[in-house]
Amino acid sequence: MMKTYYAQNMPLSDQANALQSQIEALQGLEHASAEKLRTYQADALKALMRHAHRYSSFWRTRLDKAGYADQTSVYKVLQALEPLTRADIQQQFEALRAQPPEMARSRVRTATSSGSTGSPVTVEKDMVVYSLFYLANSWIESYWHHRDGRQKIAVITMQLEETSHTSWGGAFDVLGYRGPSVTRGYMLGNADNHLDWLLQEKPAYLKCNASIAAELAERSLSRGDHLPLVQIMSQTERVQPKHRALCLAAFGAPIADRYSCEEAGWLAFECPTHHHLHALSGTVLIEILDDNNQPCPPGTVGRVLITSLHSFAMPLIRYELGDLAEWGPACGCGVTLPVIAKLHGRIRNRVQLPGGSSAMPFLGDDLGFISSIRQFRTIQHPDLSLELEVAVSKTLDLSEIEKIHKIYKANGLGALKLKITELPEIPWPVGRKREEFVSMYAPNSGNSSIDVQP
Ligand SMILES: [Zn+2]
C-alpha cells in the first residue's frame, strides 16, 4: 500500500501529532449545527478565494466578474461564479495555478482523473495540505464503521500489483497502527482465481470496486464457497442495490460506500448506520444545482459541484464533477453533516431522444433486480437506438424481456428502438470504470468508441 505521508521531511511522531489534531478538528464538525458548519465553510472559502485571487490569473478574472471586490458575502460571490468545467481545467491549466513563487515545488503533485468520461483532467495539489485532510478523513471513515485495524484487509486494485504489508497504510501507518494488508491487481486473474486468493488469505475486509465485489459474490455463491467478510469498502464506482444484496448473500458483509474524485479526494462517506452518504463539509463544499444553476431541494436530482476548501495549489471552486445526486433529509444517526440521499451516476448518462431533447434515466437499480441478469450495460448507438448488453445466468424468458421493455418505457425511453443482446461476459474496458451507460451518439462530447472496447 502506498505510503502517503503528507510531509516527507517531518519525523513520523510529528506527522502523527499533526494528523491527530486534524482528525480531532474534523470530528468537531461532525455534530456541529448547520450554522456552525456554514460559518466554518465561509471562513475556509474566504481564505481560498483570497489566495486564488492573489495568485491565479484565471481566478482573478472569474472572481472579479462575480463581484468579489464589492460583495461582503462570500456565499454571494460563490453563487455568482460560473461553474468551473473540465474544459476550463484542460485549457487554462497554467492560469489556474495559484502557487506563490516562494512555494517549494516539492510540495506539489499532479493528479489525473481516470478519464472514464472520455476526457481526463489533470490538476495540481499541495500535498502537505491535501494529504493531511485525506488521511484524517480516511481515519474518520474507518472509525465511523468500527473497523478493527488489527484484522487483515485485502485490496483488489485496477492496476497490476501484488503486495503485502504489515499496515493498512495511510493514516494507520502514520498513527502507528499495525494490521496486515494484501493487494492484488484485478488484471492478474479472473473471478475464480481472485476468489481462490481470498479463500487463502482469509481477510476480514475487502476493498475494491462495487461491481467487482458483486461479481466475486456471484461467483462465490455459484461455487458454494464459504468466505465470510466483515465489510467491503467500495471505491470508484456507484454502489447499486444489487451489489449490496449479492455481497450480503455471499460474504455476509455490507458495502460501505465512499464517494471521492481524483481531483479533490474524499467527498462523502456512507453514514455509520444508514445507506446514504454524509458530505465531508470540513473538506469540501458540495452544491447540487439544477440546469439554471439554482440549488436543488432535497429529493430533486441535480448536478454536483464541489469547492475543494483547501485546494490552494490549484483552486477548485464550483467545479462541475459531471455527477448527478440528490440531497436527503437530516440524518438521525447523530452526524449532522449534510445527507446525500442518492448518487445517480454520471451526467453523460443522458440518453439522446429524437428531436434534440434528452432524458436522464436511472435504469440500473431496476435492471439489477431481474434475477437472470448478472451484469448489464446500455449503449446508445449513433442512430439513437439503444442496445442493452446483458450477461445472464440463464437465457432471459419472455416475462423478463417484457419487464426490461417496461423499465425503459417507464424511464421515458419508449420512443427508442431497444435491442437486447445476451453475452457470456460484458466486454468492460480494461482497468477503467465500468459505466452502466455508454453513448456513442454525441459527436462533440468526447465520447468515443474507446469506452466500449476491451
Ligand atoms: Zn447518518
CA of 329 to the centre of ligand 1 (A): 10
CA of 235 to the centre of ligand 1 (A): 19
Note whether residue 34 is domain-resident: yes
CA of 195 to the centre of ligand 1 (A): 33
**Rounded Cα distance, 172 and 360, in Å:** 41
Average confidence (pLDDT) over 56-64? 97
CA of 218 to the centre of ligand 1 (A): 29
CA of 269 to the centre of ligand 1 (A): 10
Tell whether 399 and 297 lie within a shared domain: no
CA of 140 to the centre of ligand 1 (A): 13
Tell whether 131 and 266 lie within a shared domain: yes
Tell whether 246 and 270 lie within a shared domain: no
Contact 441, 380 (CB under 8 A): yes
Tell whether 36 and 117 lie within a shared domain: yes
Q: Please name which of 198, 187, 136 lies closest in space to residue 161, comparing C-alpha atoms.
A: 187
Tell whether 396 and 300 lie within a shared domain: no
Instruction: Provide the domain limits for residue 16.
Output: 12-135+261-347
Tell whether 95 and 171 lie within a shared domain: no
Q: Which of 224, 256, 288 is the last residue of a domain?
A: 256
CA of 327 to the centre of ligand 1 (A): 13
Tell whether 123 and 268 lie within a shared domain: yes
Range from 2-6, 343-347, 425-429 carrying the lowest mean pLDDT: 2-6
CA of 330 to the centre of ligand 1 (A): 8
Q: Which residues contact 399 (CB under 8 A, 6 or more apart)?
A: none
Tell whether 324 and 364 lie within a shared domain: no
Per-residue confidence band for 9, with pLDDT thresholds at 50, 70 and 90: low
Burial 130-151 (b: 16+ CB within 10 A, else e): bbbbbbbbbbbbbebbebebee
Per-residue confidence band for 411, with pLDDT thresholds at 50, 70 and 90: confident
Tell whether 230 and 151 lie within a shared domain: yes
Give percent of the chain above pLDDT 70. 91
Average confidence (pLDDT) over 297-313? 95
CA of 274 to the centre of ligand 1 (A): 6
Predicted TM-score (pTM) of the model is 0.83
CA of 336 to the centre of ligand 1 (A): 7
Note whether residue 3 is domain-resident: no
AA identity, residue 29: L
Range from 138-142, 199-203, 222-226, 353-357 carrying the lowest mean pLDDT: 353-357
Note whether residue 1 is domain-resident: no
Residue 371 has pLDDT above 60, yes or no: yes
Q: Which of 225, 256, 287 is the last residue of a domain?
A: 256
CA of 328 to the centre of ligand 1 (A): 11
Note whether residue 7 is domain-resident: no
CA of 63 to the centre of ligand 1 (A): 35
CA of 411 to the centre of ligand 1 (A): 30
Note whether residue 5 is domain-resident: no
CA of 174 to the centre of ligand 1 (A): 27
Note whether residue 415 is domain-resident: yes
Per-residue confidence band for 432, with pLDDT thresholds at 50, 70 and 90: low
Tell whether 189 and 335 lie within a shared domain: no
CA of 393 to the centre of ligand 1 (A): 36
Predicted local confidence at residue 365, as pLDDT: 73
Q: Which of 295, 330, 347 is the last residue of a domain?
A: 347
CA of 332 to the centre of ligand 1 (A): 6
Per-residue confidence band for 6, with pLDDT thresholds at 50, 70 and 90: low
Per-residue confidence band for 119, with pLDDT thresholds at 50, 70 and 90: low
Average confidence (pLDDT) over 31-40? 96
CA of 28 to the centre of ligand 1 (A): 15
Average confidence (pLDDT) over 406-429? 88
CA of 339 to the centre of ligand 1 (A): 7
Predicted local confidence at residue 445, as pLDDT: 41
Please tell me the total count of domains within the chain.
3
Tell whether 231 and 117 lie within a shared domain: no
Largest CA distance in the chain: 69
Tell whether 283 and 203 lie within a shared domain: no
